[in-house]
Chains A and B, each alone.
Chain A
Amino acid sequence: MGRFVARRLIYMVVVLLVVSLITFGLMHAVPGGPFDKEKALPPEIMKNLEKRYHLDQPLWQQYLSYLNSVVIPHFNTTAPGYTVDSDYLINVKLGTVWLHWMNFGPTYSSRSRTVNDIFRQQLPISAQLGFMALMVSLFIGVPLGILAALKQNTIFDYLGMSVAIFGVSVPVIVLGPLMIWIFGVTLKWLPPTGWGAKPPYVLGIFPSKLDWGFFQHAIMPSIALGLGGSAVIARLTRASLLQVVREDYIRTARAKGLEERKVITNHALKNSLIPVVTILGPMFASLITGTFVTELTFGIPGMGKYFVTSITNRDYPVIMGTILLYAVFLVIANLIVDIMYAYLDPRIRYD
């Protein structure tokens, strides 16, 4: 297993390099630049801007200096400063020397912020929302799927799957405003928009207070976002469980005279979760890194928006940053999924 993980980590570096190269090439190939506006800027102003952001350099040089500032650790004696160019994600003091690592660069849309600031301030919010939405998906999806499978072709099955179809079919863009209107505006039970946590975060991720003030903002968006996922999980769980209960080893377990409850929980359920775990990887990565529509609908200051606006604005460092971030989460989530396979199904071995 150790060798397997090590090998996968090496692959990961290669994958990320390829992703960064393709992204970099594509975004520069698309016409239009970051400073094209309705009000065209005079060429002299353009020149100043391009110089400031090193866009006047050849592309290969820009790519190499990007890699240099993101990948290569820098050692020097200067403490972290206030300039955008010296904003590193990781700053460690080793005796008299500072280690600076990972500067994802500026954002063209704001001079006083950097891509690292977006990671520090917006990513935790998206991660909090994404995690809760994932929990909603699991806690609704798995039981619903099990119920539907065990009571196949009964009213429970039909009802459960109807709920699932509803969850898949009604997008957040409909569900969100509807929930806001009912629970936020009309009944006034929950605040219509906003998020209940702000920087600084505990350990860089967790809200400093887990109280009603936090959860009241999280309830509606988590449900709106999680419902779609729960439907997918419910259908997968149902299908997979139905297949597993027809396997020989389940028949054997039953033949041994094992209680039906034990047959299901100890033998069937664990194996039936493999497809569910498979889909959890990408689902986790996409939920954690931000969801554009949900965040916009509920006015949540998360990462989701940056995935979209960075592209329309040609905000190159933010495009690179968001895509690499997503890629990292995706690769790691898939690695964890692969590791989990081995526990769920002892027949799967990697070494």
Chain B
Amino acid sequence: MGPGDIPTLDPSLATDTSSIQIAWELFIGLTRQDEVTNEVAPGMAESWTYSEDGKTLTFNLMKDIPWVKYDAVTESVVQVLDCDGNPRVVKAQDFLYGIERTLNPATASQYAYVLAFALAGASDYNNGTSTDFATVGAKVIDDYTLEMTFNENAVYNAAIAGMWVAYPEPSWIISGDDCTEGRGDKWTETGFIQSYGPYVMKEWVHDSMITLVKNPFWAGIPSVPAAKIEEVTWVMLDEQPAFAEYEAGNLDAAAVPSADLDRVKADPVLSAELIVAPNLCSYYYGFNTKAPVVDDVRIRRALSLAVDRQSLIDNVLKGGQIPAQWFSRPGLAGAPTLESHPDLGVKFDPAAGKALVDEYAAEKGIAVDQIDLSLMFNTSSGHQRIAEAIQQMWKDNLGLNVKLVNQEWAVYLETVKSTETPQIWRMGWCPDYADANNFIKEVFDVNGSSNPAKDGEPYGGINWKDEAFSAKLLEAARELDPAKRVELYAEAEQMLVWDEAAIIPIYWYSRNTVTKPYVTRTFGSAGQEAIEKWDIDMAAKLGQ
């Protein structure tokens, strides 16, 4: 876990990997995406049924899952009792409370937008147009049955229903009831928080560490087994000190700082503990397709063809990343893979790129080295190194002189999403839910994250609108046959990165991790680790 405090454990408010990681151990959604394959499996809902139009899902919940908390006095995990002294169990009402709280404008949840776009009526409730929560497509049928109605009959609805923004929340500890003092904003603090998942929060020392203990009341289901490790502690350290702690034997798993990677690979012990695991994020350069010069698709495609991604990875990044041919990272549900689509998208081909640039220059009657181009990125030594390497590739392969400009992060974000979007800019994307829809549609469709629009007309980012592209994405979202769905996304990717060449996909991320040999673990691909599946051989650990 990185340096700095975990922002929050509140499922309604979590936005970042570390917050979601802890919430993922404390709570379980209606459904659970497998941390490795990202397939949707039952979570708190044992099963669910679809209505005829496919838009309404009825979830049947597991019964008698108790709410628990860590009791510091007895140093054990105890059940939470209601006002009559009976154990509180997770009910459909708790889910509804969580969903309501996420969408309530007063909560000001950032990720409410995921529910707002997917759940029927949720957008109006979230933006204050409707103040009646009954207008939102979420209904309690009985204590253990929850009905959710979505805007689209999309395959990823079940995945969205399992996201942290739709986790059940203990209303009594947040807003209080007859026998419980409401803790408001502070309900996630040590001593207050209540949950029901495989782990329970024992102690959260802000900015320093967080400790979870096994929840003995969680018996386990196939997708979320009962925890094996009794107690897990995350320390909030920068990569470098965390790796030092690992080397000193005080941490069992850590990320490898890129500066240490060569040394780790050469070390006989550390190299055996090193695993390069996928990380479902994409790194790319975007074009403002309305800006001078790059408004010509030939220049955009040429710039993309001239990037030697493998060389960049081998010589600059050195972290086992994968050259990206398109945007939606393979491994996401619905995304094409290199095995199924080896020739999709764009590959390094400097000669083809050079021909396009020469054609453009001849047509415009200017010298290639006089073409005015600039690339902007946010100030950071890492992005700087990548930009310089690519600048050199453009110079060597195309003869283009591209200027580099950088801006401080917050300023940069405003720039690239404004009407002043530069010709070429840098950005990355990681999944909220591991589905291609969260990538190509939510980033590049009109009004997507990197294609801001006003009244349906893009004004910044890639600044691009194509009815066929939007239609393709909608069709893919509705397609129930997984194989056909992949094909549809492949076609959309081809439009984005080749036909229109609105972005340059550069690399797909990887994670370099070291784990002590006495730890058995899985490697999460979408940002979360399923700690409940990890095991530790204590005899081997203590004996070493």
Contact = CB atoms under 8 A, between A and B. Distances in A.
A180 B244 CA distance: 7
Contact of B410 (A31, A45, A109): A31
A249 B198 CA distance: 77
A117 interface: yes
A151 to B, nearest CB: 40
Nearest to A198: B205
Contacts of A121: 206-207
A39 interface: yes
B93 to A, nearest CB: 23
A299 B235 contact: yes
The interface centre, meaning the residue of A38, A185, A195 with most chain B CB atoms within 10 A of its CB, is A38
B123 A44 contact: yes
Interface in B182-233: 182-189, 205-208
Contact of A41 (B7, B113, B408): B113
Contacts of B250: 191-192
Given A48-B105, A52-B106, A112-B185, A314 B410 contact: yes
B396 to A, nearest CB: 30
B435 to A, nearest CB: 15
A109 B3 contact: no
B156 to A, nearest CB: 17
Contacts of B110: 35, 37, 41, 45, 49
B491 interface: no
* Residue from the set A84, A113, A305 with the largest chain B CB neighbour count within 10 Å: A113
Most chain A CB within 10 A, of B112, B240, B410, is at B410
Contact of B413 (A36, A42, A181, A297): A36
Contacts of A38: 413, 427-429, 449
A199 B105 contact: no
Given A38-B428, A301-B236, A192 B108 contact: no
A304 to B, nearest CB: 11
Given A51-B105, A312-B409, A198 B241 contact: no
A120 to B, nearest CB: 10
A309 interface: yes
Contact of B414 (A32, A51, A53, A313): A32
Given A32-B410, A297-B240, A45 B248 contact: no
A301 B207 contact: yes
A105 to B, nearest CB: 13
Given A45-B110, A296-B238, A314-B410, A111 B245 contact: no
Nearest to A85: B185
A82 B180 CA distance: 13
Contacts of A37: 15, 110, 413
A198 B203 CA distance: 11
Contacts of A313: 410
Contacts, number: 163
Interface residues of B, number: 61
Contacts of B411: 30-32
B92 interface: no
Contacts of B112: 45, 48
A202 interface: no
A298 interface: yes
Interface residues of A, number: 56
Contacts of B236: 299, 301
A31 B245 contact: no
Of A177, A185, A312, chain B has the most CB atoms within 10 Å of the CB of A185
A299 B248 contact: no
A33 B410 contact: yes
A282 interface: no
A47 interface: yes
A253 to B, nearest CB: 52
B244 A184 contact: yes
B161 to A, nearest CB: 20
Given A39-B449, A297-B241, A312-B408, A110 B186 contact: no
Given A35-B110, A111-B185, A193 B4 contact: no
Contacts of A298: 241
B184 A83 contact: yes
Contacts of A296: 3, 238, 241
A36 B452 contact: no
Given A38-B413, A38-B429, A199 B205 contact: yes
Nearest to B3: A296
A45 B126 contact: yes
Contact of B113 (A42, A112, A177, A188): A42
Contacts of A51: 105, 108
Given A41-B113, A192-B244, A301 B413 contact: no
Tell me which of B186, B207, B236, B408 has the highest count of chain A C-beta atoms within 10 A of its own C-beta: B207
Contact of A192 (B3, B107, B185, B245): B245
A230 interface: no
Interface of A: 30-33, 35-42, 44-45, 47-49, 51-53, 81-84, 109-113, 117, 121-122, 177, 180-181, 184-185, 188, 191-195, 198-199, 296-299, 301-302, 305, 309, 312-314
The 4 closest A-B pairs by CB, nearest first: A32-B410, A301-B207, A52-B108, A44-B127
